[in-house]
Amino acid sequence: MAVLAATADGRQHEFICDHVVSSAAIAELGGYLDPAPPEPVLSAAHALRYRDFLTVALIVKDVDCFDDNWIYIHDSAVKVGRIQNFKSWSPHLVPDPELNCLGLEYFCFSGDGLWESDDDSLIRLADEELIQLGLVTPGHVIDGTVIRQPRAYPVYDENYEDRISLFREWLERDMPGLHLVGRNGMHKYNNQDHAMMTGLLTAENILAGERQWDVWQVNQDAQYHEAGEDRTLAMGERLVPQRLHED
């Protein structure tokens, strides 16, 4: 197959290869392919939904607010959902011993009020919510920045499995050299280690010249096992929420 790659400076290069490993979101990947998938397959890919995410990283005067790597916030009075303590991950992440960096994480959808807020407003909101939660006192926040991550979380709705199955069946039948890996590449809500495992096992399959591992069975439970000559990966199914009303 031929792959057209674009570099950051706008140059394009064409490569001829037997295998391509893609971690691009399935919803986008269908539009990159030429010839395009059949309309039902393309529609299924485009219908997959994602939850977006942004982090407000605040530089604060070093205070003993909490020692954990992160904490989840279950307070309906604030919008923040989780707070990372980067210094607890490693002191090397915050080279100034007098300071710390706290990452306030907000779960949102691209285009909603949080996502569209300007950086200054988000930094001010995060500062106010840290104070409201009692983690810092006024004046402890000295700087901040905002990082937006689109398509951070694949959405598991009532139709996502059918859509993925349709895309996967077409892919394995018509483009066996294109391999999907990772959270967005497979539309699987896995952790980072599981996403990396799909890439490692895909590489093993390519080197072996056959599918020794079914990478689609790598999931968030990390239950890997070998079963005789047919090596498989155990998978626990996640319950899928039912839609309460039609849009």
Q: Taking CA 106 as the corner, what is the angle to CA 127 and CA 135, rounded to the nearest 5 degrees?
A: 35
Domain range for 136? 50-154
Q: Of 154, 172, 195, which residue sits at a domain end?
A: 154
C-alpha of 94 from chain center: 25
List CB contacts of 186: < 8 A, sequence separation 6 or more: 26, 164, 180, 198, 215, 216
Q: What is d(CA 95, CA 40) in angstroms, rounded to the nearest whole number?
A: 52
Residue 240 reports pLDDT greater than 80: no
User: What was the pLDDT predicted at 225?
Assistant: 45
- Residue 209 belongs to a domain: no
In a domain, 124, yes or no: yes
Q: Are residue 88 and residue 122 in the same domain, yes or no? A: yes
pLDDT category of residue 239 using cuts at 50, 70 and 90: very low
Which of 154, 176, 206 corresponds to the end of one domain?
154
CATH number for 107:
3.90.660.20
> Helices (DSSP H) in the chain: which residue ranges?
26-32, 39-46, 86-89, 113-116, 119-132, 160-174, 183-186, 192-208
CATH number assigned to the domain comprising residue 163: 3.50.50.60
Dist CA 84 CA 78 (whole Å): 16
243 found inside a domain: no
Based on the domain organization, do 44 and 60 belong to the same domain? no
Determine, yes or no, domain membership for 161.
Answer: yes
Q: Each residue of 11-46: b (16+ CB within 10 Å) or e? A: eeeeeeeeeebbbbbbbebbeebeeebeeebbebbe
Name the one residue in this structure whose structure tokens are 């000295």: 142
- Residue with the bigger pLDDT between 218 and 228: it is 218
Whole-number mean pLDDT of the chain? 87
Residues 45 and 161 in one domain: yes
Is the same domain home to 141 and 54? yes
Does 43 share its domain with 59?
no
Whether 70 and 101 map to the same domain: the answer is yes
Distances (CA, A) of 168 to 129, 138, 163, 165, 182: 43, 52, 9, 5, 14
| Reduced 3-state DSSP string for 58-88 | EEEECCCCCCCCEEECCCCCCCCCEEEEHHH
Residues 55 and 45 in one domain: no
Q: In the structure encoding, which two tokens stand for residue 88, read together? A: 């607890």
Q: What is the mean pLDDT of residues 196-204?
A: 92
Model confidence over 154-171: pLDDT tens digits? Answer: 999 999 999 999 999 999
Whether 64 and 123 map to the same domain: the answer is yes
41 and 21 inside one domain: yes
Per the structure, the count of domains in the chain is: 2
pLDDT for residue 221 is more than 70: no
Using pLDDT thresholds of 50, 70 and 90, give the confidence band for residue 247: low
Q: Hey, what amino acid is at 40?
A: P
Please check whether residues 55 and 37 belong to one and the same domain.
no
Please tell me whether residues 145 and 75 are part of one structural domain. yes
pLDDT at position 245: 56
- Is there a domain that residue 137 lies in? yes
- Take residue 235 and report the two structure tokens written for it: 């998978």
